Copies of this chain bind each other. A is one copy, B any other.
């Protein structure tokens, strides 16, 4: 598979979340975290989820990534319905429909950049040599050429995020779940990485669902921004952004439409 081969792509909606609810049993009571969430993501779309801290965003991702199960509702990924019941173990093995990238990059210090990238492939049973060859093909596109044998501690924050994204992409699904991928970066690097991610998304044809705290990040990158309420999370509002926007995606330019969207979102999120 070369760098530009389109990734496997099944027909239909890649992601459909219908009326999902979830609560956790704590020592004292039952804590509802998600109530009746419905979200649809079309193929090739870039959708952002934004909501106050602790509202339940990561919990939703855990459900999508097969790490946890909803109490009710339905999740369909690439035409496959995730089960609501059954042993956690059986359930887990059916996962990996979408590739999940956690907030901190979670690169393993004991693996080189190349070996970090192939982690998902190895877990899926691909041989090391083949996995490495496939990863190498993508290094130029990710701007990582020359760093194959470096160890993560020698990379800058932005580079680390690119390795983490490469690892996610190599899992072989083009539906990506990104949980605050740039939360740990400083503002300037963050903007650079947003530009880069946007470019990659445009070129590679990925479907992206992104969690963020940052209104501006959501607005800059997404086709659609979904604002959530505080816990228990439910959908408070959805903002569609046209593309090309005013002057197209020009990273350092703040367009009128973006400004309006930001204002709307700020109001939505603050007046709780």
Interface residues of A (CB under 8 A from B): 52-53, 186-189, 191-192, 212-216, 252-254, 259, 262-263, 266-267, 269-270
Contact = CB atoms under 8 A, between A and B. Distances in A.
Contacts of A259: 254, 259
A83 B187 CA distance: 35
Q: Chain A: interface secondary structure? A: helix
Given A187-B212, A188-B215, 11 more contacts: A52-B186, A52-B188, A53-B188, A187-B213, A188-B269, A188-B270, A191-B270, A192-B270, A216-B216, A252-B263, A254-B262
Given A52-B188, A188-B52, A188-B213, A263 B254 contact: yes
Contacts of A52: 186, 188
Contacts of A191: 266, 270
Given A216-B216, A259-B259, A189 B252 contact: no
A160 to B, nearest CB: 14
In order of increasing CB-CB distance, the 6 nearest A-B pairs are A186-B213, A187-B213, A187-B214, A252-B266, A53-B186, A254-B259
Contacts of A262: 254
Contacts of A53: 186, 188-189
Nearest to A156: B53
A267 B253 CA distance: 10
Q: Indicate the member of A53, A188, A189, A215 with the most B CB atoms within 10 Å.
A: A188
Contacts of A267: 252
Given A53-B186, A187-B214, A263 B270 contact: no
Nearest to A190: B213
A253 B213 CA distance: 18
